Amino acid sequence: MKPTAQSGGAVASNATATPDLATALDQLWARFLPEIRQRVNILQGAAVACTGNQLSTEQRTAAHAAAHKLAGTLGTFNLAHGSDLARQFELVFGSEESPSAELSRNLADLAGELSSVIESRKTSALGTVHSLAPPPK
């Protein structure tokens, strides 16, 4: 069965499909979490380099690739806000132009927010709902 949308931007799976699907997603999450964290670390490093106006071509390329992969991966795990944040990084690091000073300062905050979204993902259990809404400000 397909997941069903609920108010507040949350998704809950049909009760008959939930245990198997939730277990499979949790196993995949556990398997890919180290790689996901590594990609966030790449983005954090690139953000720091931007603030010091020291972003190398290699860092930009690695950050763009990491952001692209994170955007898709996080979307697969119903972390829409995390996917949106990763897309912002993808746009910044996909450009040949250096980020403005203001944007460079904001990248570190975005990287921290992205890390928080990832670390806040709860493993599924029957009846558990993953929020797709951005965290409150």
Continuous segment of H or E residues that includes residue 112: helix 101-119
Instruction: Look at residue 123 in the predicted model and tell me its pLDDT.
Output: 64
Instruction: Look at residue 2 in the predicted model and tell me its pLDDT.
Output: 47
Which regions of the chain are under pLDDT 70? Answer: 1-17, 123-137
Instruction: Look at residue 50 in the predicted model and tell me its pLDDT.
Output: 93
Instruction: Look at residue 112 in the predicted model and tell me its pLDDT.
Output: 93
Q: Starting from the edge strand earliest in sequence, which strands make up the sheet with 10-12, in order?
A: 4-6, 10-12, 130-131
User: How is residue 99 annotated by DSSP?
Assistant: P
* Non-local CB neighbours of 5 within 8 Å, separated by 6+ positions: 11
> Average model confidence (pLDDT) for the chain?
82
The residue written with tokens 């993808």 in the block is 90
Please tell me the pTM assigned to this model.
0.75
The structural domains of the chain, with segments of one domain joined by +, span 17-121
Q: Kindly report the CATH class assigned to 17-121.
A: mainly alpha
pLDDT in tens, 46-75: 999 999 999 999 999 999 999 999 999 999
CA torsion through residues 85, 27, 31, 65, sign: negative
Instruction: Look at residue 10 in the predicted model and tell me its pLDDT.
Output: 45
Chain centroid to CA 128: how far?
A: 20
